[in-house]
Structure 1
Amino acid sequence: MNQDRVESLAQFHPFTRLNKLLEGVHPGGGNTPLLLSLGEPQFQPPVFAIEAIANAKDAWSKYPPTIGTEAFRGAVQAWLGRRYGIEQGFVSTDGMILPVSGTREALFHIALSAVAQGLPKGKGKVLMGNPFYHTYAGAAVVAGGEPAFLPAGRETGFLPDPQAVPAELLRETAMVYLCSPANPQGAVADKDFWRRWLVLARRHDFIIAADECYAEIYTGAPPAGAIEAAQESGSTDNLLIFHSLSKRSSAPGMRSGFIAGDRRQVGRIAQLINYGGVAVPLPVLAASTALWSDEAHVVENRARYCQSFDLAERILSPIFGTVRPAGGFFLWLDVGDGEAATTALWREAAIKVLPGGYMSRPDAAGRNPGAPYIRVALVYEPALLEGALTRMAGVLRRLDVKRPAKPALVGG
């Protein structure tokens, strides 16, 4: 990889930039530092998942098959039926469902596959909303493609508008990353959003990577899934969905998720894993099978987040207006200057957040749409968050943060 691409990779990694911003800044206020910058749930996964790993201890001596186990794929298929109403035969356990070692790795692999397929046809662009999850842009660069950033700010409902993408760009597109509930904005796509993107993907022959890792964390109706729109169309062509246990089951350390959809694309990712990826270990697959088969712990998890949203609404809405996201567990707060607020929160309250500008790139007018924002991850127990949010509010009031003209978050 040439030096230009190495430097390009560095600019897309927000936590590298965050460390640089806070270098030499000491956490203050006499408080224990609290990291609300990283989307890493701090709750324990269900005991039965830990027991499942222990009960499968003999399998640590075996290489796991890339395709996982029949039990795992069956559990995922059944979950798709319960969650999205997907008929059993629409997403087959034979070649259309694949376990992955965390969805970050799979989201990276899909760019390697899609750009390799697209470049010979003059299709090297990888589309993503702006702001975006940094793996999307990094994967596009490593794959030899070119990230293309679509507006996803307040004016578009915090989701990229499929009808606003120029036809010329679509003709050059190898794939698009679409995230719902959105990271960082918390907006939720409806079924029509997925329908419209599917029409474009099939018309212009590109792949949709539907990142739905936050789909089980929401405050109203369950978010619609891309796979629902695909079933209505009668085909999974051009679509891969990505789901994870990191958020759903508070198990980020398990590194377990799945992809499902277009049979050809699932097969290509399986081959990439065979050559240079990591198959999910059998004991982890056993625990994952149990987690995808259980809903009680998900309901409990969602209730915990709802308590946190209630706290955030009570403490922060006097400053910002409503801050409750439609989905996911991030607050996306317009503080005027994300870097300045991030530095002040760390120096004065020992709370680490992420500047929104580090998750976005300047638009054609040179404006970084994320620069006024901070992203705050509500990943601790509500009792701990209450004090942290109260300290945050004190610092942000001192900074004279102005209440936005519209709500800080909207649903799609």
Structure 2
Amino acid sequence: MNPLLDKLHSYPFEKLRLLFEQVTPNPQYKAISLGMGEPKHPTPAFIKQALIDNLDGLAVYPTTLGTPEMRAAIAGWLERRYDIPKLNPATQVLPVNGSREALFALAQAVIDKDANSLVISPNPFYQIYEGAAYLAGAEPYFVNSDPARNFGCDYDSIPEEVWKRVALLFVCSPGNPTGAVLSLTDWENLFALSERYGFIIASDECYSEIYFGDEPPLGAMEAAHKLGLTSIGEPYKRLVVFSSLSKRSNVPGLRSGFVAGDADVLKKFLLYRTYHGGAMSTSVQAASIAAWNDETHVEQNREMYCAKFNAITPLLQEVLDVELPDASFYLWADVTRTGLSDTEFAQRLYAEYNVTVLPGSYLAREAHGINPGANRIRMALVAETAEGLEAAQRIVKFCKSL
């Protein structure tokens, strides 16, 4: 067996299962889960219909590169959404079976396993970043999020001897679980570091369409364009961006996303994926094209999230230290004032009120002397508003009973 598999940590939901293993939840309450970030809003009917209308695609082998129509739809969406020059659909866009598998696969394609490389990850983080680093033969280097910096990472704190070993840097903006969005200054700093040390930036932007202010979150490509970096001979050099329809269009089971950016990186990544087996069914591509070409359902989806967060967040603020995030569908709450640790809070809430939340320490690693997820919980407000309000009311009761 591959010895690198022994470096992998249990997934957060496996840890949660073990935490709850000996607990019997209060039968007076119906189970409500805020633990998993799985969209629960209805899938738009027109996306379902586009899939049904193209089931003949199941009878053919798809190409790894995807159809020209699919790549054009993605390039068109990026141009409209971020007001950037249109990408070359033939060389700068690649459809993938959800951003999760592509984030993992990119590390395998770009890291030299014999180079003693490091992969920088935010902390807390999406656990795929860590696993991708280990199985590519690299080591993760965690940069803690700082509440005083709107949960941003202090990249200036990383010593030069670390930067010299970095092959890949994962960015998640809007962040999971914090909801933080990188600023233009943040991006300018990262682009300068990438230019100086030669590492690739992988920007995970799958929560980009769920936000609460008037301005949509800044994307990496948009930042590069605003900073004048797209006018040079090799636009988006060492930058690859990942996005997905799962959250934007409520189709997590469609497993449809894309990678876009540096044409040289994507050329090698396409070669890797040809062997890896990452081709997307043309039936799925047809449904995806319909989704990428429509914004009305995205606006309606965002309105539902805004109404939900605006109703639930003030309730929880009565008993927890929690703020409306920049974006994403998570609340990242500090439970310190309850006198319970994050794991104790989650276990007792489940036992007494049958509400599931995810302990923040399960989403982070101890780095530089602290676990930045400790004493926090992540709540995924993915269900309908009524269920979310019921969960919030139970949490308030629980906290007031302590």
User: Which string of whole-angstrom CA distances, capped at 9 and with x for unpartnered residues, describes residues 168-224 of structure 1?
Assistant: 111100101000110001111112211211111121010100000000000111010
SS of 1:233's equivalent? Answer: coil
8 Å CA contact 2:91–2:263 kept in 1: the answer is yes
Residue 163 of structure 1 deviates from its aligned partner by 2.1
- TM-score normalised by L of structure 2: 0.94
Alignment partner, residue 6 of structure 1: 5
Alignment partner, residue 42 of structure 2: 44
User: Which string of whole-angstrom CA distances, capped at 9 and with x for unpartnered residues, describes residues 279-305 of structure 1?
Assistant: 111111001001111000000000110
Alignment partner, residue 380 of structure 1: 383
Tell me which amino acid in the other structure corresponds to 1:332. Answer: W
8 Å CA contact 2:322–2:334 kept in 1: the answer is no
Alignment partner, residue 105 of structure 1: 101
Equivalent pairs, count: 391
Tell whether 2:227 aligns with 1:224: no
Residue 29 of structure 1 deviates from its aligned partner by 4.9
Residue 322 of structure 1 deviates from its aligned partner by 4.9
SS of 1:319's equivalent? Answer: coil
Q: For residues 96 and 24 of structure 1, what CA distance do their matches in structure 2 show?
A: 50
Summarize the Cα distance change of 1:166–1:157 in structure 2 as closer, same or farther, 3 Å threshold.
Answer: farther
- TM-score normalised by L of structure 1: 0.92
Alignment partner, residue 294 of structure 1: 294
Q: For residues 99 and 373 of structure 2, what CA distance do their matches in structure 1 show?
A: 24
Q: For residues 268 and 249 of structure 1, what CA distance do their matches in structure 2 show?
A: 29
8 Å CA contact 1:60–1:282 kept in 2: the answer is yes
Alignment partner, residue 185 of structure 2: 192
Q: For residues 22 and 243 of structure 2, what CA distance do their matches in structure 1 show?
A: 38
Tell whether 2:12 aligns with 1:18: no
Tell me which amino acid in the other structure corresponds to 1:346. Answer: Y
Tell whether 2:91 aligns with 1:95: yes
Residue 396 of structure 1 deviates from its aligned partner by 2.4
Residue 139 of structure 1 deviates from its aligned partner by 0.9
8 Å CA contact 1:152–1:160 kept in 2: the answer is yes
Alignment partner, residue 168 of structure 2: 175
User: Which string of whole-angstrom CA distances, capped at 9 and with x for unpartnered residues, describes residues 209-264 of structure 1?
Assistant: 00000000001110101001222212210100000000000110000000100112
SS of 1:147's equivalent? Answer: strand
Q: For residues 277 and 208 of structure 1, what CA distance do their matches in structure 2 show?
A: 24
Alignment partner, residue 206 of structure 2: 213
Match of 1:371 among 371, 374, 385: 374
Give the 5 Å matches for 1:314-329.
314-329=314-329
Summarize the Cα distance change of 1:389–1:277 in structure 2 as closer, same or farther, 3 Å threshold.
Answer: farther
8 Å CA contact 1:52–1:290 kept in 2: the answer is yes
- What is the RMSD of the two structures over their aligned residues, measured on CA atoms? 1.4
Q: For residues 158 and 304 of structure 1, what CA distance do their matches in structure 2 show?
A: 25
Alignment partner, residue 257 of structure 1: 257
Residue 277 of structure 1 deviates from its aligned partner by 3.1
For structure 1, the 5+ residue unaligned runs are: 400-412
Q: For residues 384 and 315 of structure 1, what CA distance do their matches in structure 2 show?
A: 14
Q: For residues 265 and 21 of structure 2, what CA distance do their matches in structure 1 show?
A: 42
Match of 2:196 among 188, 196, 203: 203
Q: For residues 152 and 319 of structure 1, what CA distance do their matches in structure 2 show?
A: 23
For structure 2, the 5+ residue unaligned runs are: none
